Structure 1
Amino acid sequence: MTQINIHEAKTHLSQLLFRAVLGEDIIIAKAGKPIVRLVPIEKPLEDRVLGQDEGLFTVPEDFNAPLPEDILSAFEGGTME
């Protein structure tokens, strides 16, 4: 973690931004007391497109059918045999 004073931060702002984007912790201090931390903004998520996975999965006809007893038992704490 690097701590620098405000005057130095103003003088070297471009370099500090580059270092912060690369993952370095940069603390800016006033009179030796830390006041802010320079951190990169998280990359925004891209807009999702509805239907882009259409056709990749087909819901089976028996999707809502009751589970077989051995699997149901395993969900309730039993063992599968």
Structure 2
Amino acid sequence: MTTTNTLPFTVDDLLRILVESAGADETFNLDGDILDTGFEQLGYESLALLETGSRIEREYGISLDDTELTGSSTPRQLIETVNGLIAAAAA
């Protein structure tokens, strides 16, 4: 897999990786404004987020520690964390 390592990491990137890693909860509409909706409300629990974090690390050439990953309770928080790590890696 190719490392993209570019800003910004977007909600579309996150949704793609979430669905590829853990599938989608068909009872929830992922097309809406989900940035501030909790991952658990979206149907993604800790195991799904760990797999998602692993995929993000591989695709973007960064390292997410467990605290950064589990400390991000919404897509917005995770996207901000990932973009900060991408920027730091590029510097």
TM tier relative to shorter chain: under 0.3
Report the TM-score, using the length of structure 1 for normalisation.
Answer: 0.25
Report the TM-score, using the length of structure 2 for normalisation.
Answer: 0.23
- Higher percent of residues as helix: 2
- Higher percent of residues as strand: 1
Relative contact order: is structure 1 or structure 2 higher (C-alpha 8 Å, sep ≥ 6)?
A: 2
